[in-house]
Chains A and B, each alone.
Chain A
């Protein structure tokens, strides 16, 4: 028996060692643990998962988009054929393209649900105003992803929808004509327009979204999750138990157990 237990301990230590090695040199294990096991209000529920759902939808777009880019050809003469090739010839290509196409809509829909939740819960209020602003920048960036991605299949729908979309931009007063010219890459839609949209769609806008998501998550972790409006712990209400020692604010987090709802 002792020998067997000894072996088990050895196995555990062997598994632990690389983690310890990483933690000692980078602090990553502690950081991930801090992120995953941070405190949230006891009465946060399913409504609070909409943000993570939106993030998951974006990661799906990222993954499927990278794979689609391996087969797609952003050239006016071969774009349509390459999309047909992905859909009909490449193994599971129809699935990856479908995930990317439908996932785009799901991403936007979830984003609006998430925004509605934040708005209706009043979670945009002090001190989280800046996070609302970052989210308000994420929304148009994601919509631009949809607009630029719509051209890429290069069928009749894609082409004329983009013509209309660019011309809607062109009707904006004063700078509209220049904005439309920038999107087209010239006075007329030409060979450069598709490559321009492709570059915007898979380099510039995803980079911007990743950066904004990083900022968004940093603020979420720093400021914490807000309680729902029906929470017993909402600000300004009397508590059953005596208020805890100083340090229940955001700057000095409350000690463990204080944020639990009194039973």
Chain B
């Protein structure tokens, strides 16, 4: 081996395992600083021993040249430059020449390993981030039943504008409005019409086309926050302020852009108190009040058809 011939060829140190031992010694010292002084001493010993062997190995070429190679006499080339350079594929520590038919040389392997490891790391990092941001789409929201207070607050045959918290833990932002009419008893079963105020066009709040009786406003305290009840007379049905969709008192679309009737809430009577359950979508209501015939559909977003040919545009719904 000829170190540093000054001909642009880097000096390649021979392959050696001594640095590994040297590094282990350093680690021993660092660990020993925390654990015990004995480990430091052992580490120092390993470091010094392998350090010596490493240095001896690296400088072996220089010492070997001093002893073994006599300066040539007479030749101008060798006189100025020492011994001729050893070709890269000769000498004790040179890399073996690549096999002519070698399909996967080392550089390609390293390239692939870098790309592969990099993409594995990128994937490990990306999956939780993307999952975190899109998970809410696929999660069910658990809604408790909504207690609206005693059914005596709802006079028979009169609509009441009722606001309540859909999800009390979310606070005021979940306040929703329903137009509720007590239809009286059918047999011994009470009947209510509970219309969601979410417009079936694009979700604006529909308003009653008629007076609100503010002076008869009731505020009912329930476990799930405050419920406000304002009687109203939607003589002209309901209308949406955004794009002019119109509905009759059963929630059927009468004019404008909505694609179906107003959504409705399921309701129960629990110990004489009106309680709301899930929301469902309605295409069209046949009949009125207690005798209305309603086909329930799974809750769909505003502007989405629930029947007819167009329903096939929305075959899947995220959980609600």
Does B202 contact A163, Cβ atoms closer than 8 Å? yes
Question: What 1/0 mask marks residues of chain B from 185 to 222 whose CB sits below 8 Å from any chain A CB?
Answer: 00000000000000000111100000000000000000
- Tell me which of A160, A182, A185, A187 contacts B320 (CB under 8 A): A187
Does B301 contact A164, Cβ atoms closer than 8 Å? no
**B72-120 with Cβ < 8 A to chain A:** none
**Distance to closest chain A CB from B169 (angstroms):** 10
Does B17 touch A at the CB level, under 8 Å? no
- Tell me which of A160, A171, A188, A190 contacts B204 (CB under 8 A): A160
Does B137 touch A at the CB level, under 8 Å? yes
**Distance to closest chain B CB from A227 (angstroms):** 43
Kindly report which residue of chain B lies nearest to residue A171, judged by CB atoms.
Answer: B303
**Distance to closest chain B CB from A76 (angstroms):** 5
In the bound complex, CA of A82 to CA of B300 (Å): 35
Kindly report which residue of chain B lies nearest to residue A200, judged by CB atoms.
Answer: B133
Does B303 contact A170, Cβ atoms closer than 8 Å? yes
Main secondary structure of the interface of A (DSSP, over half): helix
In the bound complex, CA of A173 to CA of B301 (Å): 12
Does A164 contact B242, Cβ atoms closer than 8 Å? yes
Chain B positions within 8 Å of A27 at CB level: none
Kindly report which residue of chain A lies nearest to residue B302, judged by CB atoms.
Answer: A167
Does B204 contact A163, Cβ atoms closer than 8 Å? yes
Given A164-B203, A171-B303, the answer on whether A181 and B171 have CB atoms closer than 8 Å is no
Main secondary structure of the interface of B (DSSP, over half): loop
Give the size category of B's interface with A: 20 to 34
Chain B positions within 8 Å of A96 at CB level: none
- Tell me which of A164, A173, A176, A192 contacts B202 (CB under 8 A): A164
In the bound complex, CA of A11 to CA of B302 (Å): 72
Given A164-B202, A167-B303, A191-B171, the answer on whether A178 and B137 have CB atoms closer than 8 Å is yes
In the bound complex, CA of A176 to CA of B167 (Å): 25
Chain B residues packing against A (C-beta within 8 Å): 133-134, 136-137, 139, 141, 166-167, 170-174, 202-205, 242, 300-304, 313-320
Between A and B, 26 residue pairs with Cβ closer than 8 Å are A77-B172, A163-B202, A163-B203, A164-B203, A164-B242, A170-B304, A171-B302, A171-B304, A173-B313, A174-B314, A176-B304, A177-B317, A177-B318, A178-B318, A180-B301, A181-B137, A181-B318, A182-B137, A184-B136, A186-B141, A187-B320, A189-B173, A190-B167, A190-B173, A191-B170, A191-B171
